[in-house]
Structure 1
Amino acid sequence: MNYTTQMDAARKGIITREMEIVASKEKTDVETLRKLVAEGKVAIPANKNHGSLDPEGIGEGLRTKINVNLGISKDCPNIDVEMEKVRTALDMKVEAIMDLSSFGKTKEFRRRLIDVSPAMIGTVPIYDAVGFYDKELKDITSEEFLEVVEKHARDGVDFVTIHAGINQETAEVFKRNKRLTNIVSRGGSLLYAWMELNDKENPFYEHYDKLLDICEKYDLTLSLGDACRPGSIHDATDASQIKELMILGELTLKAWDRNVQVMIEGPGHMAINEIAANMLIEKKLCHGAPFYVLGPIVTDVAPGYDHITSAIGGAIAASHGADFLCYVTPAEHLRLPNLEDMKEGIIASKIAAHAGDIAKNVKGARDWDNEMSKARQQLNWEKMFQLAIDPEKARRYRKESMPEHEDSCTMCGKMCSMRNMNKIMEGKNINILREDE
């Protein structure tokens, strides 16, 4: 039986190769997974032209996945530097990479990335439009915006961020409700500017059916972007954000009618006490579609440490139902991340995702922690290093400060609780001031 997309296959009762791989990774029943894909509650972004892909599922009951943003810019156009980051990110087992290139040889970098990456690849095609056509934003036509989307789909991109919810209705709500930081989404601000300059409807909203034609053709997953995501905690959960989310819910149903898979992008900057409610609202308004959050960053005053502010928000978001976390690096708001920034951002995001999985009772999540606790109780350092989320750093810290007694560390020495409890439980004496007998 033929099918066009993963969702189409799932609705026809077909279990695809991609579903089998995802079910195996998640240790879940493949028929249960198929039903969730059919309902839109799980997406498996898998472009037909991405030959190197090792598929992952995003959504209900599955492990929280993370995404890494990379790409060249006008100030940092070196493709080889970005490819080094790509190789490192893949070595660190990230599930997704978004190419956010906005200048120069974007096509070359995108194709090299897709060729080598088993991780799913996302893009924001509007970033590429200005450079591709060598036109000012105002002069790009609706048809040309759609052509860039198809170009990315043809290259093998698995999901695209499309800010279709910033339509004229949303724009009017934004104008009536003053914000502290206006529209901080780069793609969203470009589309809003295009609409204002041309006095026209958002082309991705007006020609949404044509966009769905492209998605259906390549099995391209739509990541419906949140143009009005808050760029400060002041603007969180305001009229503009909620209005756009309502539009995204309507667009989700239209996409599902065409068997096109959908993810919903979310905040943004947001105070801790608002995160749980936002996860509930998104899932409700967008019919249980997978939720992809950009942070959330829980305070605005920590430039240089926003991998921490976002990990705090990401863990809370994941624990309340977010399915996909976009990493944030220490360089956020300051500059393009370097290799070390990227590594720190990945680790912080991985910690947040796993913490969320524990809270959501994702199958097997706690097993990892239990194994680490067992290794600690046994003072099995090598096992601890193997289980660590960042084994390299754990080994380095241990090596930098070796204790006198191998069964301790330089923090506690012979006062180590694990060491002494092991001895007592075995009926042995404890000698803290003297050598062991």
Structure 2
Amino acid sequence: MDAPQNPATNNADTATAQAAGTPTRPDGSPCITQIDFARAGVITPAMRAVAEREHRDPEFIRAGVAAGRIAIPANVRHLAAGLKPAGVGAGLSTKVNVNLGISGDVADADVEWEKVATAERLGADAIMDLSNSGKTRFFRQELVKKTPLMVGTVPMYDAIGYMEKPLVKLTVDDLLEVTRAHAEDGVDFLTIHCGINKSVVKTFKETGRLMNIVSRGGSLLFGWMEVTGNENPFYEYYDEILKICHEYDVTISLGDSCRPGCLFDANDAVETAEMIELGKLAKRAWDAGVQVMIEGPGHMAINEIAANVELEKRLCHGAPYYVLGPLVTDIGVGYDHITAAIGGAISASAGADFLCYVTPAEHLCLPDADDVREGLIATKIAAHAADIAKGVPHARDVDDRMGDARRRLAWDEMWNYALDADTARARYEASPASTEGTCTMCGKMCAVRTVNKVFEGTTIDLDAE
């Protein structure tokens, strides 16, 4: 467990926490979660690690966690197993998530482990295990044990296989049991589709949509609600979910069941109705000592993205925004890592905090390791570009180092600054230039080389070969 260490010296609550010994919550129970400690005025080792990574004062991180503007998804069991804590939220670098997992049609764990290795090598911040077929617990447990990255899951995906029951036979107890199993396994954040309650479903039916519901978890719960006639169990028994999350310090990622699946449905009545519910649920989670992220928004035209981010921040009280895409056109099939990266850069520069990558396989098939690489690099470009625009501390430093290396035509140094050094080097070496130090785009007419020679006072040799 991430025990308190070196309490903040510039917070009025710190002296009280120190005098009392073990920090406690307002009800007298011991602090467990990062938000518990933050509100007790205590800076935990996880907060210090995030502060160091983000070039921020530890008190900045503590205050952000206490207010709910920053989440540090860090299950106490994953921390004990070697998690490297990362912060998601206001004033921090934009984080990137990689989805992977075993499906019913492609159930090859070795391929998924190759994807894990790719994600770690290329600098992902989180991995979501979206396995949805058979007994997935062993893979999830091994993932938590082996990766230092944040791990997220969606218990609803796992419920049918875990309980060995058809969807409509699942009970409230079944869903709570699956949720607890994921928390016990050390998962750092759980996507829980709590917002699609009967009120939101009524809005959905009354207003209609071109693409209906495209969230997998949302569609399963909608189907369950329609067949049984009951309220969404994750909404009705939300307090029980929060107790589980608090026990292990699992961040609840409030799922966007009604995110738009096409541009036509973007920012419509049902998406907004669900976001209003998510804002209410966020406050209840914070009151229970549970950290929160909000998910959204799927497909959305470029000119609507900034308003969507602003609306989420207002309705959800500044909670970190975790976005899929947004995909800025519906016709980029086969290239949706590009459509999503465009939207991701815009949404993050407008204030979104966490980007879920999209691969070239989106809408088509389960991605392979190459798809993971392409999707991750595209999303990291989007996140980094947004961080430069937002003025995240030191975000542009590596770009300036790259510029200096390019001026000096220091190719080996350039690879150190590239997001995907292997691909960059391979392309350069596959097409060797006849003039040393240049590439085959310009050769002797390389502008950088020419200006360097001018300043060096050497001959500019541009005679025809």
**Aligned-partner SS, 2:77:** coil
Q: Quick one: distance in 1 between partners of 2:410 and 2:91?
A: 32
Aligned to 1:161: 191
Q: Deviations over 1:215-254 (max 9, x none)?
A: 1111010000000000001110000000000000000011
Distance 1:100 1:329 in 2: 15
> Partners of 1:133 and 1:434 in 2: how far apart?
75
Corresponding position: 1:134 with 2:164: yes
Paired residue type of 2:69: K
Q: Deviations over 1:333-378 (max 9, x none)?
A: 1110011111111111110110110110000111111111111111
Instruction: Please name the residue that 2:362 is paired with.
Output: 332
In 2: Cα distance, 1:304 partner to 1:246 partner: 34
SS at structure 2 position matched to 1:161? strand
Matched, 1:431 2:461: yes
Shift of 1:428: 3.7
Q: 1:193 aligns with which of 196, 212, 223?
A: 223
| 2:3 matched residue in structure 1 | none
Q: Distance in 2 between matches of 1:173 and 1:276?
A: 24
Gaps of 5+ in 1: none
Q: Please say if residues 77 and 104 of structure 1, whose CA atoms lie closer than 8 Å, have aligned partners that are also in contact.
A: no
Q: Tell me if 1:30 matches 2:58.
A: yes
| Corresponding residue for residue 213 of structure 1 | 243
Matches within 5 A, 1:13-412: 13-50=41-78, 51-412=81-442
Deviations, residues 403-427 of structure 1 (Å, cap 9, x unaligned): 1111221111111111111122334
Name the aligned partner's letter for residue 81 of structure 1: V
SS state at 2:282 partner: helix
8 Å Cα contact 2:438/2:444 also seen in 1: yes
Question: How big is the shift at 1:320?
Answer: 0.5
The CA deviation at 1:91 is 1.9
Measure the CA separation in 2 of the matches of 1:177 and 1:428.
72
Distance 1:236 1:158 in 2: 29
SS in 1 for 2:298: coil
Contact 2:135 2:162 in 1 (8 A): no
For 2:55, the aligned partner's letter is: K
Q: Distance in 1 between matches of 2:431 and 2:389?
A: 34
TM-score normalized by the length of structure 2: 0.92
Q: Contact between 1:8 and 1:259, CA under 8 Å: does it hold in 2?
A: yes
Q: SS in structure 2 opposite 1:411?
A: coil
User: C-alpha separation between the residues in 2 aligned to 1:134 and 1:434?
Assistant: 74
1:93-132 deviation line (CA, Å, top 9, x unaligned)? 2110001010112011101111101001000000111111
Distance in 2 between residues matched to 1:384 and 1:87, nearest whole Å: 23
How many angstroms apart in 1 are the aligned matches of 2:115 and 2:437? 37
SS at match of 2:241: helix
Alpha-carbon distance between aligned partners in 2 of 1:146 and 1:274, rounded to the nearest angstrom: 37
Shift of 1:146: 1.2
**Residues in 2 aligned to 1:133 and 1:33: alpha-carbon distance in whole angstroms:** 40
Which whole-Å CA distance do the structure 2 matches of 1:297 and 1:62 have between them? 23
> Which residue, out of 418, 440, 447, partners 1:417?
447
Q: Give the partner amino acid of 1:274.
A: E
Aligned partner (choices 26, 35, 57) of residue 7 of structure 1:
35
SS in 2 for 1:296: strand
- The CA distance in 2 between the partners of 1:406 and 1:259, in whole Å, is 61
Cα distance in 1 for residues equivalent to 2:257 and 2:41: 35
The CA distance in 2 between the partners of 1:189 and 1:116, in whole Å, is: 32
Q: CA deviation at 1:434?
A: 6.2
Aligned-pair CA distance for 1:292? 0.3
Cα deviation code 1:124-151 (max 9, x no counterpart) = 0001111111111111111211111011
Given that residues 224 and 265 in structure 1 are in contact (C-alpha distance below 8 angstroms), is that contact kept between their aligned partners in structure 2?
yes
- Higher mean C-alpha displacement, 177-186 vs 84-93: 84-93
Matched position secondary structure for 2:352 = coil
Structure 1 range deviating more: 221-230 or 80-89: 80-89
Whole-angstrom CA distance in 2 between matches of 1:63 and 1:207:
34
Contact kept? 1:45, 1:57, Cα under 8 Å:
yes
For residue 449 of structure 2, give the secondary structure of its aligned residue in structure 1: helix
CA distance in 2, matches of 1:189, 1:141: 17
Q: CA separation in 2, counterparts of 1:105 and 1:78?
A: 13
Partner of 2:9: none
Across the aligned residues of Structure 1 and Structure 2, the Cα RMSD in angstroms comes to: 1.0
Q: Is the 8 A contact 2:322 2:354 kept in 1?
A: yes
Q: Distance in 1 between matches of 2:446 and 2:121?
A: 35
Number of equivalences? 435
Determine what percentage of the aligned residue pairs are the same residue: 58
Point out the more displaced range, 406-415 or 290-299: 406-415
Does the 8 Å contact 2:122/2:419 carry over to 1?
Answer: no
- Report the 3-state secondary structure (helix = DSSP H, G, I; strand = E; otherwise coil) of the residue aligned with 2:97: strand
2:26: which partner in 1? none
Alpha carbons 2:195, 2:277 under 8 Å: kept = yes
Report if aligned partners of 1:129, 1:145 keep a CA contact under 8 Å in 2.
Answer: yes
Please state whether the residue corresponding to 1:265 is helix, strand or coil: strand
Q: C-alpha deviations, 1:274-301, integer Å up to 9, x for none? A: 1111111001110110000001111111
